[in-house]
Amino acid sequence: MKLLYTVVPFAPLVGAIVAGLWGNRLGRTATHRITILGVLIAFLASVAIFFDVHNGNTFNGPLYTWGTSDGLTFEVGFLIDSLTVTMMLVVTFVSLMVHIYTIGYMADDPGYCRFFSYISLFTFSMLMLVMSNNFLQLFFGWEAVGLVSYLLIGFWYTRPTAIYANLKAFLVNRVGDFGFLLGIGLIAAYAGTLDYAETFAQAEKLATMNEAVTGWPLITAICIALFIGAMGKSAQVPLHVWLPDSMEGPTPISALIHAATMVTAGIFMVARMSPLFELSDTALSFVLVIGATTAFFMGILGIVQSDIKRVVAYSTLSQLGYMTVALGASAYSVAIFHLMTHAFFKALLFLSAGSVIIAMHHDQDMRNMGGLWKYLPVTWLTALIGALALIGTPFTSGFYSKDSILIAVAHAQIPGATYAYFCVMAGVFVTAFYTFRMIFLVFHGKERFGQAHAHHDHAAHGSDDHHHGLAPGEKPHESPKVVTVPLVLLAIPSLLIGAFTIDAMLFGGWFANVIFVDEARHGSIAALREEFHGALAMGLHGLTSLPFFIALAGVALAAFFYLVRPDLPDRIAARVRWLYTILVNHYYFDRFNEIVFAGGARRLGRWLWQIGDRTVIDGAMVNGSAQIVGEVAEAGAALQSGRLYHYAFSMILGIAVLLLFLYLV
């Protein structure tokens, strides 16, 4: 089996190398065939491994020894269990869909082969991340997906906004990694190992210790440090700022990396570390509050976006917040469940948005759309399925996972739970509103396209040459099969997978022995189990429960604003100008970072360079001492006057000093 495990990540890597080095020589068709074959092999192998794990065969072992030092062994290896294989299936399936979709989406792009190389490289990195059995390799995958994300956000490298966004994404992630690395360092220092299983075996011992220098409770310090890493990768407030800008990348990678897989790495990591997080209520509270804040306040920003991709991006932020809330409520399996359903319906929404963008000739402004359902029937239907799942309509996959989160938070007892509950419930309304605002603006209402960029507000979303738009009178067309088939294939699990898997994933023993919950102290998952009487009953009950009505109200309000009275939103925005200004500026996070951190670092650097290096060290010390040498030399030169009596006097003086010296000794 070890060979099969190895095949999963390395098949996409081979594809990536071939496409990257020889893609242009092989041609487009050969390149996409090779990379798709690699991902297909990875997917099929994952399916085989899934059945194997289902039969109870797990694996934990090294691939090779990376290094040894000071009693620590650094290894590259695999941990194959139910959590791993769930992630492997999600990653390889979504990646496969995105690979196929890319054939259509990137058809006109000169960087076609490069793009395939990057997304296969990403698939490799992400698989190494989720399959790891130790912190070193986790960090490897962690940074490698960051690298590919950097490459893909900056894929169109001539756009100023894209190369600004990719640098920002990398640096903000590095801020998270700063915490992550220190967390790993604490584990290495106090547990003496980087292996997951060996670390977990010592978790109880770590929980009784304090950090030697700072005096912090060790387990809390470790968990919060690791979570800071997760905040970067999974875009939690205040390290979320990179994700909306990452939409500068091509849409397929927004679906794959910035919605379905990479951004969920932080969620996966915390779930994997459940034996550690369960031991620190402080860390869990921190996780809960950060997640709730992200879920609610980022969702609100989705309301004021006019770029279709940015709506979905803020929605992703908000949904990542929901997953984080579930983690904080000790409902790790629920978080992974929502991660999985979200991967399907959010990838679907992004790819639908991409299909719309193709039809609109790369105009992403929803104010130029409207009434598209007639022209893009498949895209419309699949996007609608994605939207219904996103807002948690009963019986869709999103309903099962989101409703479970709501119940779990309702039963959470740790500090911050009340605040979190308010945020996630209010978030349901916000989600429903912005989602259907998007659906109505894009697919329904008056047809606003083909008006030669009447509203084309360049400043709002960064002007660039890729925003063409439809010519006057031109009608949009449905996208080709390579685009719509992945949409349909993603729509099916978006609808159904929740109902079929909820029992096994949350209550059955799928994650037994993998995810650890201390049910005596954290009762959320136990309460969920008590209330659960089958998927059908849960769906029926959902039709009469509060979240459903809240969501319904959100949809109704969106319908009123954007179908019945489309003049209202602008008038309301004008009324509460101050609030609108704060929202369109994303709460001024970007401005603050730009001035305080980026600007501050540059000012500090310039000050240290000019004052520290140039004035003090070079000016006073180096050139100063050279100057003293020079002056002494000049003084010495003045002595050589050429007058005989000067020399004679000096000689006598010298002899006198010498004699005195000898006499004294």
Partner 1 sequence: MSGMPLLSLAIWIPIIGGVLVLAAAGNDRRAFEARLISLFAAALGFAVTLPLWFQFDPTTSAMQFVELREWIPRYNIRYYLGVDGISMPFVVLNSFITLIVVIAGWEVIQKQVAQYLAAFLIMSGIINGVFSALDAVLFYVFFEASLIPLYLIIGIWGGPNRVYAAIKFFLYTLVGSLLMLVAILYLFAASGGSFDLLEWHRLPLTLTEQKWLFLGFLLAFAVKVPMWPVHTWLPDAHVEAPTGGSVVLAAIALKLGAYGFLRFSLPIAPDAAQAFQGLMVALSLIAVVYIGFVALVQEDMKKLVAYSSVAHMGFVTLGFFLFNALGMEGAIVQMVSHGFVSGAMFLCIGVLYDRLHTRRIADYGGVVNTMPKFAAFFLLFAMANSGLPATSGFVGEFMVTLAAVKVNFWIAAAAATTLILGAAYSLWMYKRVVFGAVANPQVAALQDINRREFVILAAMAFFVLLLGIWPMPLLEVMHTSVDALLAHVAAGKL
DSSP 375-414: T-HHHHHHHHHHHHHHHT-TTSHHHHHHHHHHHHHHT--S
Pairwise CA distance, residues 610 & 38, whole Å: 53
612 touches partner 1 by CB under 8 A = yes
**Candidate residues 69, 513, 544, 640; the one interacting with partner 1 per rule CB under 8 A:** 69
Looking from the CA of 107 toward its CB, the CA atoms found within 13 Å total 13
14 touches partner 1 by CB under 8 A = no
211 touches partner 1 by CB under 8 A = yes
Shortest Cβ distance from residue 163 to partner 1 (Å)? 4
559 touches partner 1 by CB under 8 A = no
Pairwise CA distance, residues 633 & 631, whole Å: 5
Residue with tokens 């058809």: 107
627 touches partner 1 by CB under 8 A = no
67 touches partner 1 by CB under 8 A = yes
CB contact at 8 A, 229 and 156: no
**Site string (18-57) toward partner 1, x via CB under 8 A:** ----------------------------------------
Task: Choose between 20 and 104: whose C-beta lies nearer to partner 1.
Answer: 20
Which range touches partner 1 (CB under 8 A), out of 136-144, 201-209, 387-395, 474-482?
A: 136-144
Which range touches partner 1 (CB under 8 A), out of 55-63, 259-267, 567-575, 617-625?
A: 617-625
Q: Pick left, alpha or beta for residue 78 (phi over 0 → left; psi -120 to 50 → alpha; otherwise beta).
A: beta
Closest to 393 in 3D by CA, of 259, 494, 311, 502: 494
**Candidate residues 37, 44, 48, 147; the one interacting with partner 1 per rule CB under 8 A:** 147
Q: Pick left, alpha or beta for residue 395 (phi over 0 → left; psi -120 to 50 → alpha; otherwise beta).
A: left
Which range touches partner 1 (CB under 8 A), out of 139-147, 420-428, 499-507, 526-534?
A: 139-147
- Cβ contacts of 447 within 8 Å, gap of 6 or more: 370, 371, 372
613 touches partner 1 by CB under 8 A = yes
CB contact at 8 A, 324 and 449: no
Task: Choose between 163 and 425: whose C-beta lies nearer to partner 1.
Answer: 163
Task: Choose between 104 and 146: whose C-beta lies nearer to partner 1.
Answer: 146
Task: Choose between 232 and 427: whose C-beta lies nearer to partner 1.
Answer: 232
Which range touches partner 1 (CB under 8 A), out of 240-248, 282-290, 350-358, 598-606?
A: 598-606
621 touches partner 1 by CB under 8 A = yes
CB contact at 8 A, 202 and 218: no
Ranges of beta strands (E only) in 57-134 are 59-69, 72-80
Task: Choose between 375 and 589: whose C-beta lies nearer to partner 1.
Answer: 589
177 touches partner 1 by CB under 8 A = yes
Residues forming beta bridges with residue 74, ordered by sequence position: 67
Task: Choose between 70 and 567: whose C-beta lies nearer to partner 1.
Answer: 70
Backbone angles phi, psi at 413, to 5 degrees: -115, -10
CA dihedral for 357, 359, 363, 365, sign (positive or negative)? negative
Which range touches partner 1 (CB under 8 A), out of 156-164, 362-370, 414-422, 496-504?
A: 156-164
Q: What is the token pair recorded at 278?
A: 């369960």
CA angle (34 as vertex; 28, 36 as ends), nearest 5: 100
**Candidate residues 22, 66, 587, 589; the one interacting with partner 1 per rule CB under 8 A:** 66
Residues 315-344 close enough to bind partner 1 by CB under 8 A: none
Burial class (CB in 10 A: 0-12, 13-18, 19+), 144: middle
Pairwise CA distance, residues 143 & 232, whole Å: 11
SS3 448: coil
140 touches partner 1 by CB under 8 A = yes
Which range touches partner 1 (CB under 8 A), out of 47-55, 160-168, 424-432, 547-555?
A: 160-168
475 touches partner 1 by CB under 8 A = no
608 touches partner 1 by CB under 8 A = yes
265 touches partner 1 by CB under 8 A = no
Which range touches partner 1 (CB under 8 A), out of 36-44, 59-67, 401-409, 427-435?
A: 59-67
| Residues in touch with partner 1 (CB under 8 A) | 64-70, 72, 139-140, 142-144, 147, 150, 154, 157-158, 160, 163, 167, 170-171, 174-175, 177-178, 181-182, 184-186, 188-189, 211-214, 601-602, 604-606, 608-609, 612-613, 617-618, 621-622, 626
